[in-house]
Chains A and B, each alone.
Chain A
Amino acid sequence: MNFSVLQFPASNCDQDAVHAVRLLGHSARLVWHKDAALGDTDCVIVPGGFSYGDYLRCGAIARFSPVMQAVKQFADNGGLVLGVCNGFQVLTEAGLLPGALIRNRDLQFHCENIFLKTATNDSPFTSQIPAGKILRVPIAHGEGCYFADEETLAKLKANNQILWQYCDATGNLTDTANPNGALQNIAGICNEKRNVAGLMPHPERACEPLLGSDDGKWIFESIFTALKNKTVAQVA
């Protein structure tokens, strides 16, 4: 399977994403933000970092990069897109995912391991995560507080679009376990069509025991399984 990892000026988790995918046995390559075409792609990863210095708002400028037109078309055709951290921010700014990511409520940049509860296995990004397994994954962000208005939150719940929530080591959704104030401890969501997902934590940094956790691999395994099972959307 071919993974395209976007590169914006100041993306910094692009290499990690490529490394993680290759480590897990699939192909990955970097796609420069100015490229108008994605090429042979089965899944797009929008990586973490500080694209455009986080100027104006995180992801606000990156969403207008030429490559994002191709990503939007790829997503409209049902292609799988995963946004991690800044990538999640880019996807919300681009309107490919609902809501917004705002400043952490304590105004601190949080660089630490957190626990994630998978809210549903019904998605190409969560299907292989073992039932009840709490994922230990690192976060590194200053603007990771998920916000959406009441109407949008209700829709997310009704449509089962919340994929991951911050929890404590035993899976409880507590306020203390919430590193940034995100509403309903939301760490990651998907769109209505369930082919685009975003999350603030970094699964690509938790794919080998050497780095402290390989729980992130379950998210990639879910994507690999989904790709094997479906007709892939190709963008020339």
Chain B
Amino acid sequence: MKAKIIITPKKAVLDPQGKTVQTALEHMGYTGVTGVHIGKYIEIDLAPGTDKAAASKALNDATHKLLSNPLIEDYRLEIE
């Protein structure tokens, strides 16, 4: 069982990495790119048979407290 968490910078926060990569893509000749945002991807392995609902609650809590900084980041969590 696996939890997948995608963490992205909030739109209001300066993302110089994203801007730099966007510029690089443009220099490489790719057109039509209107924005690039660089985030984090975290995979958490869960013991087989873990209760999905309980895990979701615990992981949302963990993501709020540790895995992301709610001031500057948004996140999406899925468990499969």
Contacts and interface: CB of A to CB of B under 8 A. Distances in A.
A93 interface: yes
Given A107-B16, A147-B14, A149-B12, A57 B69 contact: yes
Nearest to A104: B16
Interface of B: 12-14, 16-17, 20, 66-67, 69, 71-72
B13 A147 contact: yes
Interface in A129-188: 145, 147-149, 181
Interface residues of A, number: 19
B67 A56 contact: yes
A98 B67 CA distance: 18
A104 B16 CA distance: 8
A105 B19 CA distance: 10
Contacts of A93: 69
B22 to A, nearest CB: 13
A149 B72 CA distance: 9
Interface string A78-114: 0000000000000001000001101111110000000
A48 to B, nearest CB: 20
A70 to B, nearest CB: 19
Contacts of B20: 107
A104 B12 CA distance: 16
B17 A102 contact: no
A106 B16 contact: yes
A232 interface: no
8 contacts: A56-B67, A64-B66, A100-B72, A102-B14, A102-B72, A147-B13, A147-B71, A147-B72
A61 interface: yes
Given A60-B69, A99-B71, A102-B14, 11 more contacts: A93-B69, A100-B69, A102-B13, A103-B17, A105-B16, A107-B16, A107-B17, A107-B20, A147-B14, A148-B71, A181-B16
A61 B16 CA distance: 24
B72 A145 contact: no
A128 to B, nearest CB: 32
B36 to A, nearest CB: 14
Contacts of B17: 103, 107
A157 to B, nearest CB: 18
Identify the 10 closest CB pairs spanning chains A and B, nearest first. A100-B71, A100-B72, A105-B16, A107-B16, A57-B69, A100-B69, A105-B14, A147-B13, A103-B16, A102-B72
